[in-house]
Amino acid sequence: MTLRILIYGARQIVTVTHNNGEKMLCGKDMHNIGIMKSDTVGLSLMIENENIIAIGTDDDIARTFEGVEVNEKIDASGCCILPGFVDAHTHPIWAGDRVHEYAKKLAGATYMEIMREGGGIGFTVEQTRLATDKDLLVSLVARLKRMLCAGTTYVECKTGYGLEWPDELRLLKLLEQARSHIPIGISITYCGAHAIPKNKTAEEMTDDIVNNQIKALKKLMDNKELNVSDIDVFCEKGVYDTEQSRRILLAGKEIGLEANFHGDELNYTGSAEMGAEIGARAISHLECISDEGIHAMAKAKTIGVILPHTGYLLRIELPPVRKMIDAGVPIALGTDANPNAFSSAMSISMNLACVLCHMTLEEALAAATINSAAALGISDKYGSIEVGKKADLIICRCPSYDII
């Protein structure tokens, strides 16, 4: 059965790419995004079985599809049409909150100081272990719904508040269940190396993840019980060092996972250089990246996932995004939705990227769509409006995207 949907009357269609098969945008191309606009005639999209089959003026589309049955027509008069936002970095499944830590941060306590006092990730791990599966699933779906309402149509979802395998496995299974509860695309990332449990050392956890957790995950993936795309590790001073991170990421790559990890956030660790060397698809944060790391990522086309909301709340220096873009590093954006820095709206991340990281409006939109999709390995189908791609898009009640 063929299902056709016509969207007509739009003032602007932001294609982002220029229909040249681009899988990501780098350098000056991030600023020169594709935009169709008209003040005199409406613009249309024809969708067939969830795929875009035609883009043009209302009159052109009407002539091309004259006599063809259309199941649904959507009036987008005066509106702009955009690719759905792709959130490239979130930790959406947890219990409890960290409101009690906020005053400490305002008083000057650092992220790592709070972790050493028993707060931070460790506190959330304890609260998450105490929660029921039902409570975790209900809160997860509620967060994903808020993201969807804010224009995000595909989201990367990390584990990381389990750490030990039985708890990590529970979170992975709940993320799988969430797929059937809400019409949002979900890319699952295994993040068992998010922190060090109280009863383990970093080296012991590295051995456990490499020799036990990843092997158990492979069996579940082979049996089609889990669909996990990426592996993550918090490569940071006092957590997992660069060589431990390398071991974990390479072990994940051996079972088919892509390396997509936290690096160079609070301290310089050489994460960017290491990630580029092993062929990481994406590295997040990068507040402390070196010039050598920028060069390495640009050469390898490793995507830098910038999380301005986190730097803003932690009062730390933001990544050198302008230098990274000028060097040719493809830049993506995420909300980093988590109990430390909760945000569900990519529009806020785009705003902060412009204000704090000195990105242009066009660069921020490219980073929130095609490049974020590339960070998740899905830009062949998502992240831009092109014939042949999924009709994963949003209609905004404004004449131009920059109003967002």
Task: Give the architecture-level CATH label for domain 85-376.
Answer: Alpha-Beta Barrel (3.20)
Bridge partners of residue 148, in order along the sequence: none
Strand order in the sheet with 12-16: 34-37, 12-16, 80-83, 393-396
Interval 217-266: pLDDT, tens = 999 999 999 999 999 999 999 999 999 999 999 999 999 999 999 999 99
Please say if the pLDDT value at position 112 is more than 90. Answer: no
Q: Give the pLDDT band of residue 139 (cuts 50, 70, 90).
A: very high
Quote the pLDDT of residue 102: 82
Quote the pLDDT of residue 99: 82
Quote the pLDDT of residue 103: 84
Bridge partners of residue 47, in order along the sequence: 5, 52
CA atoms within 13 A on the CB side of 317: 11
Please say if the pLDDT value at position 116 is more than 90. Answer: no
CB burial of 48-69 (b: ≥16 within 10 Å; e: otherwise) equals beeebbebbbbeebeeebeeee
Quote the pLDDT of residue 245: 98
- The fold of 4-83+387-396 is Urease, subunit C; domain 1 (2.30.40)
Among 13-22, 218-227, 348-357, whose mean pLDDT is lowest?
13-22
Please return the burial class of 108, using the count of CB atoms within 10 Å of its CB with bins 0-12, 13-18 and 19+. Answer: exposed
Please say if the pLDDT value at position 340 is more than 90. Answer: no
Which percentage of the chain shows pLDDT scores above 70?
A: 100
Quote the pLDDT of residue 390: 97
In the chain, where the domains are located: 4-83+387-396, 85-376
CA distance 79 to 313: 33
Please say if the pLDDT value at position 14 is more than 90. Answer: yes
Q: Give the pLDDT band of residue 90 (cuts 50, 70, 90).
A: very high
Interval 283-300: pLDDT, tens = 999 999 999 999 999 999
Token couple for 11: 């003032």
Q: Give the pLDDT band of residue 19 (cuts 50, 70, 90).
A: confident
Please say if the pLDDT value at position 145 is more than 90. Answer: yes
- Rounded to an integer, the average pLDDT of 337-344 is 89
Q: Give the pLDDT band of residue 385 (cuts 50, 70, 90).
A: very high
Closest CA to 249 of 293, 203, 280: 280
